[in-house]
Chains A and B, each alone.
Chain A
Amino acid sequence: MAEIENDSLPILPPAELEEVELYHATNFWTKYVFSQDAKIIAIQYSGVAIAVGLVALVLSSLIRLQLGFPEMFDFITPETYYQFVTMHGMIMVVYLLTALFLGGFGNYLIPLMIGARDMAFPYVNMLSFWIYFLAVLVLVASFFVPGGPTGAGWTLYPPQAILSGTPGGQGLGIILMLLSLALFIIGFTMGGLNYVVTVLQMRTRGMTMMRLPLTVWGIFTATVLALLAFPALLVATVMMLFDRLLETSFFMPSLVEFGDHLSYGGGSPILFQHLFWFFGHPEVYIVALPAFGIVSDLISTHARKNIFGYRMMVWAIVGIGALSFIVWAHHMYVSGMHPYFGFFFATTTLIIAVPTALKVYNWILTLWNGNIHLTTPMLFSLGFIVTFLNGGLTGLFLGNVIVDIPLSDTMFVVAHFHMVMGVAPILVIFGAIYHWYPKVAGRMLDERLGQIHFWVTFVGSYLIFFPMHYIGLVGVPRRYPELGDAAFIPDSVATLNSFISLAAFTVGIAQILFLYNLFRSLRKGQPSGHNPWRATTLEWQTAQTPPGHGNFGPELPLVYRWPYDYSVPGASEDFLAQNDPAQIAKGGSA
């Protein structure tokens, strides 16, 4: 064990910190609608993200309706099927997961966890939310325009994305999608700069970088990734808009569409794929890193044990973030890019497995010798470990270029990415909501409903995606509304597909339980008190619950220790809050 010493930062009285000038809301509109309080903005972000996420959930049920019971529903045609698939994917990845982790959890937790009164730029923060909201409106509007939304797949690969053989390609669908993405990126950039500056500049006295909770490290690093990755997507959307509206040829070579020679020429479809995945791969980690951070804190708190290997965890987050920028072309092994790229990208991709594996080890070593409370947040964390491990290991199939060749574009890929960046992060989101809801609402969520919600969601999701890998092994391609006649597909695949669909409907319906719990507990939940989980981090040490405007009382908290002083030998309780000045021989590490 490393020698941990009580570090001796000079403790300065808070009076030396300049008080932050806060914007004070005067009426309902400035307080709850055009609010500049990060906590309100967080709830706005989360509300919109969850609402649009419910749309994506309905779409996924429609997809499973078709896959499980093909030819039974006349309203699902290939056109509508591709529209469902496209909108489901885009909403989940960008408008739900990215927005909820960074806009939702980021806004709520960053200022509270680092001991700040608010974000660095509250006005820009407000603007960020409203531009995000506008982006969502534009996206949803595409359901109602003639021709409907785009059905180009969430990857929006040209040339098909802007041609007539694809739903919405020659209508408004693709235009609205591209506009909405551009708006999202603009809105996100405002929020993102804010989160980064806040973490770097607004930490309270004593809160060194190496005393930040891993939640903040995860969100902070993910935000840096997003600020570097999203511009690539912005460029791609603008160029594709030009190709579509002005007939430029950034991504369009000379081609013949149903016998007609189009006026395009000289562009490169593969250029788009590089730009898309230069964004798209870091995007996986934009979703995963906040989940990594949050789950670390959930496990530590509910196992009453310090996170194992904190410094390793921090460096793993930073290292994974950096590596995520040089692995993007593993999404393009069969794209027709130069075959020698395969050597480079397979190597970098498999290297990224090492820090990722270390994180998994450290989570389970945190459980070792702990005092594990099987609360709902802990259950969701365990569910995350299972699904993330599963999805991470199948990543070793797809990252290894030669193994990817037979598996790419099959249902194996669909099963893999749903497990690793769908189910796993969403289980963390649920765990996090059960964990922090008491701080936001002042009341506990119902524990019994929470446990039922967990078991149905976790077991159901596993039953959806684990068998799906094997459909892919058979060779069944993805993005097929029906399989048709193919000698290599046995009839039993259809049976398995029906089973998967039934599991999916069950999981979908179980979410009603969660929503019910969410609304019911606002009024009827058990009052939580300030710190129901007996946690160490600053958000639980506020004078008010929910925290008032300005987060903390008249004085900002002073930080004396790292965030993981659980079960410190010699301490009177099994946790020492970060702002607890107690001098204990072993505590106060890092």
Chain B
Amino acid sequence: MKTALALVVLVIGSVVFHLLSPWWWTPIATNWVFMDNMISLTFWITGFVYVVILLFVAYCVYKFRYREGRVAAYEPENNKLETWLTVLTSLGVAALLAPGLVVWFQFVTVPEDATEVEVVGQQWSWSFRLPGADGKLGTADNRLISDDNILGINPEDPYGQDDIVIDGDDLHLAVGQPVKMLLRSVDVLHNFYVPEFRAKMDMVPGMITYYWMEPTRVGTYDVLCAELCGTGHAYMRGTVLIDSDEDYALWISEQTTFAEMSTYQKIELTNLGDP
């Protein structure tokens, strides 16, 4: 009795906790509202199964508890019942998998009009690079990294000259403009994680990973690292702003390009060289 009751309380408690929980996901800021919907759908299906099965267990524990003289039934198998349960479970699983894979296809199919934005992670800070006027990012390689060229941009590549380099400052994105986030790491694994974006992906040294999204809500968002990257992991923070078109245009006009940065550095060096 006591045990069955405890199980019922546990089921009711879990459902009430779920319904009243103030701990819920942050308002979304991109097009990936499908992900939230899929989580909700999964909650409904799994929650239903959880409640039904546990209440059934509670009922059994109550109804078939030990009593003097009770004899348990002898029923080794029941093919019909087992087949039914297999079919029903398969249907439930398929109901979760099928829409999940459809949305996954959208997630891995980058739209043609997405602009490229590069995020570079290193222990323990973020840098960003935008393609500049030509709309193309120049090639880059960790082996080219130096004090003058913190992102390892290939100086021979004409596409790289007008790239906008943002180091130690916030990234801005224009609302409504799909972006392909190209992710690169200088040293160890990192993960560019903005909870409001929903999407996330590891950054792996030696390769370029990516995901795409369309920012939908103007605002300021925290960037965190979501892949353990050493002792500074929890403190590797940044900020990304989703701007209105006007704000974005204003911001981008104030940025410096890779070519300009190189020129400044050359001038500085020349000045230092003068007696």
Contacts and interface: CB of A to CB of B under 8 A. Distances in A.
A336 B201 contact: yes
Interface residue tally of chain B, by bracket?
A: 35 or more
A209 interface: no
Contacts of A470: 17, 21, 23-24
B227 A400 contact: no
Interface in A165-215: 165-167, 169
B206 interface: yes
A334 interface: yes
Interface string B100-113: 11011101100000
Contact of B38 (A305, A336, A402, A459): A402
A265 B205 CA distance: 10
Interface stretch (B57-65, B126-134, B266-274): B57-65
B199 to A, nearest CB: 6
Contacts of B189: 157, 159-160, 269
A268 B204 CA distance: 9
Interface string B41-81: 01001100110011011001100111100111111111101
A516 interface: no
Given A165-B231, A574-B72, 16 more contacts: A1-B77, A255-B185, A255-B188, A308-B77, A334-B200, A336-B209, A357-B89, A358-B89, A364-B56, A400-B42, A402-B35, A402-B101, A405-B107, A406-B36, A479-B234, A486-B224
Contacts of B85: 357-358, 361
B191 A334 contact: yes
B186 A255 contact: yes
Interface string A259-300: 101000111111000000000000000000000000000000
B75 A343 contact: no
Contact of B142 (A82, A153, A256): A256
21 contacts: A163-B230, A166-B231, A255-B185, A269-B206, A309-B82, A310-B77, A334-B201, A346-B104, A350-B93, A382-B61, A386-B10, A386-B57, A396-B46, A400-B96, A403-B42, A406-B35, A409-B200, A471-B23, A474-B23, A475-B195, A564-B76
Contact of B3 (A78, A258, A259, A374): A374
A311 B204 CA distance: 46
B100 A568 contact: no
Contact of B24 (A258, A259, A368, A473): A473
Nearest to A463: B13
A402 B105 CA distance: 9
A340 B93 contact: no
Given A163-B188, A165-B229, A351-B93, A369 B75 contact: yes
Nearest to A368: B60
Interface residues of A, number: 121
Contacts of B136: none
Nearest to A86: B228
Interface stretch (A12-20, A48-56, A129-137, A490-498): A490-498
B39 A586 contact: no
B250 interface: no
A304 B189 CA distance: 53
Contact of A2 (B35, B39, B77): B77
B259 interface: no
Contact of B123 (A165, A462, A493): A165
A389 B104 contact: no
Given A305-B72, A364-B56, A379-B3, A371 B206 contact: no
Given A269-B205, A477-B226, A406 B198 contact: yes
B22 A492 contact: yes
A326 interface: no
A52 to B, nearest CB: 23
B264 interface: no
B260 interface: no
With most chain B CB atoms within 10 A of its CB, the pick from A82, A165, A492, A569 is A165
B12 to A, nearest CB: 13
B124 to A, nearest CB: 8
A467 interface: yes
Interface of B: 3, 6-7, 10, 14, 17, 21-26, 32, 34-36, 38-39, 42, 45-46, 49-50, 53-54, 56-57, 60-61, 64-67, 70-79, 81-82, 85-86, 89-90, 93, 96-97, 100-101, 103-105, 107-108, 122-124, 141-143, 145, 147, 152, 183, 185-189, 191, 193, 195-196, 198-207, 209, 220-222, 224-235, 237
B60 A367 contact: yes
A481 B232 CA distance: 10
A373 interface: yes
A169 to B, nearest CB: 8
Contacts of A487: 220-222
A395 B163 CA distance: 43
A401 interface: yes
A408 B226 CA distance: 9
A397 B205 contact: no
B154 to A, nearest CB: 14
A360 B70 CA distance: 25
Interface of A: 1-2, 4, 77-79, 82, 151-153, 157, 159-160, 163, 165-167, 169, 253-259, 261, 265-270, 303-306, 308-312, 334-336, 339-340, 342-343, 346-347, 350-351, 353-354, 357-358, 360-361, 364-365, 367-374, 379, 382, 385-386, 389-390, 393-394, 396-397, 400-403, 405-410, 455, 459, 462, 466-467, 470-471, 473-475, 477, 479-484, 486-488, 490, 492-493, 496, 564, 566-569, 574, 586, 589-590
Nearest to B147: A259
Contacts of B107: 339, 402, 405
Contacts of A342: 104, 108
A566 B209 contact: no
B104 A402 contact: yes
Contact of B76 (A4, A261, A371, A466): A4
Given A343-B104, A346-B101, A358-B85, A479 B42 contact: no
B234 A482 contact: yes
B123 A258 contact: yes
B64 A393 contact: no
B69 to A, nearest CB: 9
Nearest to A351: B93
Given A354-B93, A357-B89, A152 B46 contact: no
B64 A367 contact: yes
A354 B86 contact: yes
Nearest to A471: B23
A255 B142 contact: yes
Given A369-B72, A371-B64, A492-B22, A309 B143 contact: no
A386 B232 contact: no
B108 A340 contact: yes
Given A257-B187, A334-B200, A396-B42, A370 B54 contact: no
Nearest to B233: A479
With most chain A CB atoms within 10 A of its CB, the pick from B85, B188, B189 is B188
A335 B50 CA distance: 31
Nearest to A85: B228
A78 B206 contact: no
